[in-house]
Amino acid sequence: MGIVQDIAGDWEAALAALAWQVELGLTDPCGEAPVDRFALEAAPVRMPPPAAASPTAPPPVAAVADDPVAVAQTVAGRATSLDALREALAGFDLCELKKGARNTVFADGNPTARVLILGEAPGRDEDVEGRPFVGRAGQLLDRMFAAIGLSRISPDPATALYITNVMPWRPPGNRDPEPAEIALMRPFVERHIALADPDLIVVMGNTPLLALTGQKGILRARGTWTEALGKPLMPMTHPAYLLRNPIAKREAWADLLAIRDRLG
């Protein structure tokens, strides 16, 4: 107040002094009557209530870092049809192989077939076309099973084939799928087989043998019936191996005859 009283006769100076005090932080520059601040009771300080935890608030980051295999099990388990499983697999983004693939290779053939063939992974031709076993190895596969009266294009379940792979996406450079990648896709493979419900399964190569039995060594396992997922299972060498080792076609023919006999 002292500054204002000293220059009370000069209203412009008083206004400037008042503005200066406001700039310094004065909150109540003037009022209708004097106020005795010492006579005022201290107003209680009201603290804002603590924010209630929202029921929809996201959990901590660590809590949402789900195990990819557990996510795959949940996603695959929700599929109630092969079409739904195809859509679920196409929307599954937790496998790094998908980023480098052109297409999701789901299946080919007759889904009501008695025989389901499970291969390893798409190659270049399969990745381009979006269907399993369409390259040189696939053409050999078709000739092999045609020799015992089975075909992927047959409308009759008794003479049809249904073909899929463990991996729906092509590994870079056609390398073998890694164990972690196989484990990630196993829930989709299991659900695929459950929905197709074949009478027997033919696994071609080490990757599907490992996926369904947990074992490796297709050259030791081939030709011997075993069981997986409650189904009879015949291990066979992959057609690509037969192209590199034609002498092994005799053993493959014996395996095909065993499959024909099993079908009755």
Mean pLDDT (the chain, rounded)? 86
- CATH number of the domain that 244 lies in? 3.40.470.10
- For the stretch 12-38, pLDDT in tens is 666 666 665 655 555 555 655 666 655
pLDDT (0 to 100) of residue 130:
96
Has residue 8 been placed in a domain? no
Q: What is the pTM for the complete model shown?
A: 0.75
CB-CB contact of 147 with 250 (8 Å) = no
Has residue 26 been placed in a domain? no
Q: Strands (DSSP E) along the chain, which ranges?
A: 107-109, 115-119, 161-165, 200-204, 226-228, 231-236
Q: Residue 54 — pLDDT band, cuts 50, 70, 90?
A: very low
pLDDT (0 to 100) of residue 185:
98
Number of independent structural domains in the chain: 1
Question: 3-class DSSP state for residue 188?
Answer: helix
Residue 43: what are its φ and ψ, rounded to 5°?
A: -70, 135
Has residue 125 been placed in a domain? yes
Q: Say how many residues make up the chain.
A: 264
Q: How far is CA 17 from CA 1, 2, 3, 26, in A?
A: 10, 11, 7, 12
Has residue 54 been placed in a domain? no
Q: Which domain holds residue 246?
A: 66-263
Looking at residues 181-189, what average pLDDT do you find?
A: 98
